[in-house]
A and B are shown apart, each in its own frame.
Chain A
Amino acid sequence: MKKNILLDKVIMLFISIYLLLPLILTFIYSIFNEWTSILPSGFTLKYYIQVLTDPLFIASLLRSLIISFIPVLVCTLAMILVFYVTTLYFPKLERIIEILCTIPYSIQGIIIAVGVLSLYSGIGGMLSNRFLLLVGTYCIIILPYVYRGLKNSLNAIHVHTLIEAGQMLGCSKPKAFFSIILPNMLSGIVVSMMISISMIFADFVIVNIIGGSYFQTASMYLYKAMSKSGQITSAIIVVLFMTTLLISKIVTNIENKTKRKEK
């Protein structure tokens, strides 16, 4: 038994090193001066100062955050409403919804992006607004992840019996869904939202095709910086990583607080 625990720890250590090593090296590379021989010539934070004081970077980071959150919120809310309708009133539609929501898995992002752009860019008015096109496209891209996350958390509870129990205790069907079922899906909602946010935050292909120069995000800023300096690129990567880490921490804290409040 002890041997097994030791083996587990060794495996975990190797995996952690494997996952963290690129980040640690990137960070080390970003905090040193010229590194042309075996050892760097000195320690510096100038690349971080340079990146964080660049208004273009701050603006692109904010754009990345906005475009990561809005489609996820829209898609999650829409899927919750879809589940509300299919669970309570049209259970036979669940199969069709599942097929529809799984289709985006099989289509590459680049195809969706080019398709959306060629369909809507010439229309003019609100429909050809690049931001709205991006939101719509990302909603499609993340749909399978949001669907699967919500569906799994719904499958983990006896939805129909809980709703019936709620009805027998004085709730209407909609109230039972939102006051009993939804709180029990919270973990699933948070997990699927986090996966989707990090997917969009890291995207370059779709935002580059649809947004282009109209909507420059952090990943596009990073792409441009790559040709200038290795250290600046490393500093940007570390800042972006810390940003996603911070978002994850905030979301999990909110989730834990909600759970504690319920308890």
Chain B
Amino acid sequence: MAFIEFKNVIKKFDDNNVLKGINLKIEKGELITLLGPSGCGKSTLLRCLAGLEEVTSGEIYLDGENITNIQPQKRGIGMVFQQYSLFPNMNVYDNIAFPLKQKKVSKEKIELKVKEALEMVDLVGREKAYPQELSGGQQQRVALARSIVQEPKVLLLDEPLSAIDAKLRKSLQEKIKYIQKELGITTIFVTHDQDEAMIMSDYIHLFNQGNIEQSGTPVEIYTNPKTKFAAEFIGHYNIIEKEAIENIFGTLDVNSDYVAIRPETIQLSKDKINDFDICEKATIISYLSHGNVLRYTLQCKGIKFKADVLFRSFTLYEVGDTIYFNIDKYNILEVSENAII
């Protein structure tokens, strides 16, 4: 049996079916991510595992034990919330010591453990500070320390970095990943940010409308999306109807109604290149700079494509330029309209 197992978990809020029969297994020590847009059910699943929401039907197992009806405080699960949720009347030390005091751990042991936790999140010297005196990043590190100090069986992270600025978020992503590997805690990370999911996870479960749309390693999901939704959500893919694409490129060996093309697999050139399976003329409609990448929108026989090109001077094209659109057939992926469950 897997370390964590969801068996046909259904959760309804009145008539709204938020989780539509989730079956999911998570192995010990993994860092997995539940990824999906707002309202897809990922946080609800996390809250069901934590015990903060009751499941409508189905069962949840943790380490072989059915925890479906066990109270949250008895599940041995730690959780970090998006809003930090530090206790405002307690300083950093007391916040981190709180779960240990609940377990009636001796004062000496509490001191030792809090010190270790503070070292782990680089907050030594801030023990006496109150939450309102800390930055968002520091508050979230305290929340993380407070959760790991109780040595939970599972650590749940519910969009913990959403309220933190981009630069700090990157360093915290690394910190969380480092701590998770160091302690070997089974960790479930919830996010709506696909880049964050790719950076953090050993395994990603992509959610859509209360179902798991696709599961796999970050590379698998990115390079081989199975559905239109997965392709659109994870990698800014060009999603094109099979008929439309066959009008341009000729007959393709594709069984689905749609194909997906990753923008960076399209190569643009001023001159014709014969090394590619497909080479067609296209016109540049617009472009946007994404830092080191330029995203061109181009039109080829009435169909618009996005193509990503590394920002180097010789790859700069202007709006209205006629260029060549090059791609290999193996980069044209077939995707189904809906998930096959």
Chain A residues in contact with chain B, CB under 8 A?
157-158, 161-162, 164-172, 180, 183-184, 186, 259, 262-263
Inter-chain contact A168/B50, CB cutoff 8 Å? yes
Count chain B CB atoms within 10 A of each CB in A157, A166, A169, A262 and give the residue with the most: A169
**Is A170 a contact of B102 with CB atoms below 8 Å?**
yes
Which residues on A sit within 8 Å (CB–CB) of B121?
none
> How far is A157 from B83 in the complex, measured between Cα atoms in Å?
12
List the B side residues contacting A166 at CB < 8 Å. 87
A158-B83, A161-B81, A161-B83 known; A168 and B72 CB under 8 Å? yes
Which 8 A-B pairs rank lowest in CB-CB distance, beginning with the nearest?
A: A170-B102, A165-B85, A169-B99, A168-B79, A167-B72, A161-B85, A183-B89, A170-B73
Pairs A–B under 8 Å by Cβ, sample size 15: A164-B52, A164-B72, A164-B79, A164-B85, A165-B85, A167-B52, A167-B73, A168-B77, A168-B78, A169-B99, A169-B146, A170-B102, A170-B150, A183-B89, A186-B89
The dominant DSSP class at the B interface is: loop
The answer to whether A184 touches B73, judged by C-beta atoms less than 8 angstroms apart, is: no
Say how far B206's CB is from chain A's closest CB, in angstroms.
26
Q: How many A-B residue pairs have CB under 8 A?
A: 61
A164 proximity list for chain B (CB < 8 A): 52, 72, 79, 81, 85
A262 CA / B130 CA spacing, docked (Å): 11
- Tell me whether A170 and B103 are in contact in the complex, defined as CB-CB below 8 angstroms, given that A158-B83, A161-B81, A164-B52 are known contacts: yes
Contacts of A262 in B (CB 8 A): 89-90
Please indicate the chain A residues that have their CB under 8 angstroms from the CB of B91 in the complex: 263
Q: Which chain A residues border B78 with CB–CB below 8 Å?
A: 168-169
Closest to A186 in B: B89
A172 contacts across to B, CB distance below 8 A: 71, 73
Bound-complex Cα distance A259 to B90 (A): 10
Contact of A162 among B50, B87, B99 (CB under 8 A): B87
A157 lies within 8 A of B73 (CB): no
* Cβ–Cβ contact A168 & B89, under 8 A: no
Residue of B nearest to A165 (CB): B85
Q: Say if the beta carbon of B140 comes within 8 Å of chain A.
A: no
- Identify which of A157, A171, A183 contacts B102 (C-beta below 8 A): A171
Residues of A within 8 A of B283 (CB): none
Who on chain A is nearest to B83 by CB?
A: A161
Q: How far is the CA of A162 from the CA of B95 in the complex (A)?
A: 12
> Is residue B88 within 8 Å, beta carbon to beta carbon, of the partner chain?
yes
Query: Mask for B287-311, Cβ within 8 A of A = 1, else 0?
Result: 0000000000000000000000000
User: What is the minimal beta-carbon distance from B147 to any residue of chain A, in angstroms?
Assistant: 7
B325 within 8 A of partner (CB): no
Contact A168 B147 (CB under 8 A): yes
Residues of B within 8 A of A162 (CB): 85, 87
Q: Is the CB of A169 within 8 A of B81?
A: no
Q: Which residues of chain B are near A186, meaning CB under 8 Å?
A: 89
**B102 pairs with A169, CB closer than 8 A:** yes
- Tell me whether A168 and B87 are in contact (CB under 8 A): no
The answer for the CA separation of A162 and B86 in the assembled complex, in Å, is 7
- Quick one: which of B239-289 are within 8 Å of A by CB? none
> Smallest Cβ distance from A257 to chain B, in angstroms?
14
Q: Are A168 and B88 in contact (CB under 8 A)?
A: no
Q: Which residues of B contact A157 (CB under 8 A)?
A: 88
Closest residue of A by beta carbon distance from B103: A170
Question: Is the C-beta of B98 less than 8 angstroms from some C-beta in chain A?
Answer: yes
Bound together, the chains give a CA A34 to CA B98 distance in angstroms of: 66
- In whole angstroms, what is the CA distance A82 to B52 when docked? 22
Q: Are B98's CB and A169's CB within 8 A?
A: yes
Task: Using A170-B73, A170-B103 as known contacts, say yes or no to A165 and B81 having CB atoms under 8 A apart.
Answer: yes
Instruction: Kindly provide the distance from the CB of A84 to the nearest chain B CB, expressed in whole angstroms.
Output: 18
Contact B89 A184 (CB under 8 A): yes
Within 8 Å CB of B87, what residues of A? 162, 165-166, 180, 184
In whole angstroms, what is the CA distance A262 to B99 when docked?
17
A168 and B90 contacting across the interface, CB-CB below 8 Å: no
- Give A166 Cβ to nearest chain B Cβ, in Å: 8
CB distance from A171 to the nearest CB of B (A): 6
Assuming A161-B85, A184-B89, what are 8 further A-B pairs, CB within 8 angstroms? Answer: A164-B52, A167-B72, A168-B147, A169-B78, A169-B102, A169-B147, A259-B89, A263-B130
In the complex, A184→B102 CA distance in Å?
19
Q: How far is the CB of A88 from chain B (nearest CB, A)?
A: 13
Give the distance in Å from the alpha carbon of A167 to the alpha carbon of B83 in the complex: 16
Q: Looking across the interface, which residue of chain B has its beta carbon closest to that of A258? A: B89
List which B35-80 residues lie within 8 A (CB) of chain A. 50-52, 71-73, 77-79
Q: Nearest residue in A to B128 (C-beta to C-beta)? A: A263
Chain A residue at smallest Cβ distance from B74: A170
Residue of A nearest to B47 (CB): A164
Q: With both chains docked as a complex, state the minimum distance between the C-beta of A176 and any C-beta of chain B, in angstroms.
A: 9
Q: How far apart are B303's CB and chain A's nearest CB, in angstroms?
A: 47
B127-152: CB near A (< 8 Å → 1, else 0) gives 00010000000000000001100100
- Report the minimum CB–CB distance from B259 to chain A (whole Å): 44
Question: In the assembly, what is the distance between CA of A167 and CA of B87, in Å?
Answer: 13
Question: How far, in whole Å, are A167 and B79 apart by their CA atoms in the complex?
Answer: 10
C-alpha gap A166/B147 in the complex (Å): 11
